[in-house]
Structure 1
Amino acid sequence: MFWASYFLAALAIILAWPVPVILSRAKWPSRSPFSAMVLWQAIALAGGLSMIGAMLAWGLEPIGENLAQGLRSLWDILIQRRPAETLGLVHVFAISAAILLTVHLVFTLLLTYYRILSGRRRHRDMLNLLSSPSLDAPATLVIPYPSPVAYCLPGGGQSVTVLSDGLMDILSEAELTAVMTHEKAHLSQHHHLLLWAFAAWRAALPWLPTSQLAQQSVNELIEMLADDEALKKVDRQTLVRAVAIVGSGAGAETAASLPGPTGTAAVTGGVDGQEDVIAGRLSRLLTPQPPLPRWIRAVIQASAVLLLAVPTVLLFAPGLIR
């Protein structure tokens, strides 16, 4: 029968609602933010692949035993003008829906990227007018602003960290090191690419719990990863003070960050719920939990790989569609 398409549809539903809800409420991600980040990416990719794959598996079932064979048969029907009597109206509709959803996702991804790049370009133009280079740190700009503000602006070889002079007047040398290390970790670990991908996912499917919860969770996780990097340079109490001071200017940071239409800022700083993120960071730093055991992290990451493998095997393994 069509059990592969049904299984993919069930998997898409599970990854669209109960799984992201459960993961967003879990406590363990703060103990292993990298593993949680990998799992969120796998959920998003596997969910999208399952949605599209379920419709393709259903639509191509009469003309192929797997995705590759079905697409070859469809190519023959469309290009070679072979007879298409085996394809009914329902199957044509399913194929069309899969193609439209794929085009919608890819177009939204590219459109989001263009808008974020445009926002960053405008922001950089403003910084060129209002900021001055730091005398003590390379690739760092200082803006004349009394509130404590710190964020990074990605741009490949032109990436910069932006600090307000109000922040620099307040922070001690160790606290400034913590802030700089945190912001540079965002750039070196390419967190802006993750924000872009999940912002596009939310813009494409705003009604989907996965896209909403994933964007919020990913923003929290990248802050945890950057905090962990800062802890390699400074002690925990110094980082707590630095986070609290920068957090007191979170509203100004958000206002300065040129958010895009999807709700994700053109920089890694101002996103929706920033105050909640700062509160979560402080709570994690003040009441540290032991990291997850290595074997549990390995299980989580293996589960992420399995999530991606299941829809792929169902689509491409011979005989699983029919």
Structure 2
Amino acid sequence: MLLTSYLLAGLAILLAWPIPVALSRAQWSARSPFAAMVVWQAIALAGGLSMIGAMLFWGLNPLGDTLISASVGGIKLLMGDPDVNSPGPVHIFALSTAALLGFHLVLTLIRAAWRISRQRTRHRHILSLLSEKSPTDPATLVLDHETPVAYCLPSFSGSVTVLSRGLVQKLSPDELRAVMAHERAHLDQRHDLLLLAFTSWNDALPWLPTSRLSLAAVQELVEMLADDAALREVQSPTLLRALLTVATGALGDQSGKHAAVPPTGTPGAPTEELSSRRLRRLLTAQPPLNSALRNFIIATAIILFAVPTTLLIVPGFFE
């Protein structure tokens, strides 16, 4: 069990700093946002499992050679069996830390989901007072506001896309179609759930480089994925003009007086920020990664997640 604990601890260190830093600087992610998204998810899941598993196995080591035997030993210890070795203070501390960390991660996820759900409910109520349904699409609300605004509001009971009157008036039909395709991709691909997971991860462990870098990367990647969906319907210059209209409109109105316009960086929602990397990939088309390289990256991510999972499920396998 000690070797398993050391392996998990080493993996946790790698996933906490050097690997996410290297991935955040990788240029290939703009050529395959989906593959990059899979890697970030594998890093987050494997990192969490490795941190908890390393402390769990260290704490359980005096009770047995495998997770099953250690669990049996723990039950016997609680029942007062004098033949079972009692864990020392260091092992009890490790077990307590593993339990608290796991509970903290789950609780933070639930709290973030609850907070975001309430924010969206309040926002939907405000929209019902200040907007009207589009005559061409009942799932689109038109906000009576001059600032060019476009965003989506995900919901399991009925997602909506919100456009401002100012945006509709400024965009051409093709540009408006590009914006609608972009927002529809956010809703269809449920990017809000991806952002919720990484937002809660960052809330739980804000001091960890992995959580900070992964949230920023995923926010950018979901926008790239939505851009790619829009590019299947319109040309790149059309999408770029539409995105620039939304971005410049948001920058031009920083008063925040209109309650139905969500603040920048709303947790668990697409940011719509036109980053430099998004701008470059729209200005200069780059060839996507070939299928062999993309499959290799995805397979590597699966293996990365499988390593701590295997060590947790089959403790002692490598000893």
Report the equivalent of 2:206. 206
1:227-264 C-alpha deviation (Å, 9 max, x unpaired):
111111111111111111111123459952257xxx54
Report the equivalent of 1:196. 196
Aligned-partner residue type, residue 283 of structure 2:
L
In the alignment, structure 2 segments of 5+ residues that lack a partner are: none
Report the TM-score when normalising by structure 2. Answer: 0.93
CA contact 2:62–2:85 (8 Å) conserved in 1: no
How far is 1:113 from its partner?
0.5
Taking the aligned partners of 2:71 and 2:64, their CA distance within structure 1 comes to: 8
Aligned-partner residue type, residue 69 of structure 2:
Q
| Higher deviation after alignment, 37-46 or 124-133 | 124-133
1:153 equivalent in alignment to 2:153 = yes
Aligned to 2:157, the other structure's residue is in SS state helix
* 1:265 alignment partner, one of 255, 264, 267: 267
Report the equivalent of 2:218. 218
How far is 1:145 from its partner?
1.3
1:5-30 C-alpha deviation (Å, 9 max, x unpaired):
11111110110101111100110000
Q: Write out aligned runs for 1:170-319 (5 A).
A: 170-251=170-251, 255=256, 256-258=261-263, 264-265=266-267, 267-269=269-271, 274-275=273-274, 277=275, 279-319=276-316
Taking the aligned partners of 1:115 and 1:300, their CA distance within structure 2 comes to: 34
Aligned-partner residue type, residue 207 of structure 1:
W
How far is 1:87 from its partner?
1.5
In structure 2, relative to structure 1, the CA distance for the partners of 1:45 and 1:318 (3 Å cut) is closer
In structure 2, relative to structure 1, the CA distance for the partners of 1:111 and 1:75 (3 Å cut) is farther
How far is 1:206 from its partner?
0.1
Taking the aligned partners of 1:318 and 1:195, their CA distance within structure 2 comes to: 32
In structure 2, relative to structure 1, the CA distance for the partners of 1:113 and 1:139 (3 Å cut) is same
How far is 1:137 from its partner?
1.9
Taking the aligned partners of 1:123 and 1:73, their CA distance within structure 2 comes to: 52
Report the equivalent of 1:114. 114
Report the equivalent of 2:99. 99
Aligned-partner residue type, residue 143 of structure 1:
L
In the alignment, structure 1 segments of 5+ residues that lack a partner are: none
CA contact 1:258–1:265 (8 Å) conserved in 2: no
Report the TM-score when normalising by structure 1. Answer: 0.92
1:49-69 C-alpha deviation (Å, 9 max, x unpaired):
000000011111122333343
CA contact 2:63–2:85 (8 Å) conserved in 1: no
In structure 2, relative to structure 1, the CA distance for the partners of 1:159 and 1:14 (3 Å cut) is same
How far is 1:136 from its partner?
1.7
How far is 1:193 from its partner?
0.2
In structure 2, relative to structure 1, the CA distance for the partners of 1:321 and 1:69 (3 Å cut) is farther
Residues matched between the structures, number: 313
In structure 2, relative to structure 1, the CA distance for the partners of 1:120 and 1:163 (3 Å cut) is same
- Report the RMSD for the aligned CA atoms in angstroms: 1.9
Taking the aligned partners of 2:315 and 2:126, their CA distance within structure 1 comes to: 56
In structure 2, relative to structure 1, the CA distance for the partners of 1:283 and 1:250 (3 Å cut) is farther
Aligned to 2:152, the other structure's residue is in SS state strand
Aligned-partner residue type, residue 297 of structure 2:
I
Seq. identity, %: 54
Aligned-partner residue type, residue 4 of structure 2:
A
Taking the aligned partners of 1:165 and 1:133, their CA distance within structure 2 comes to: 12
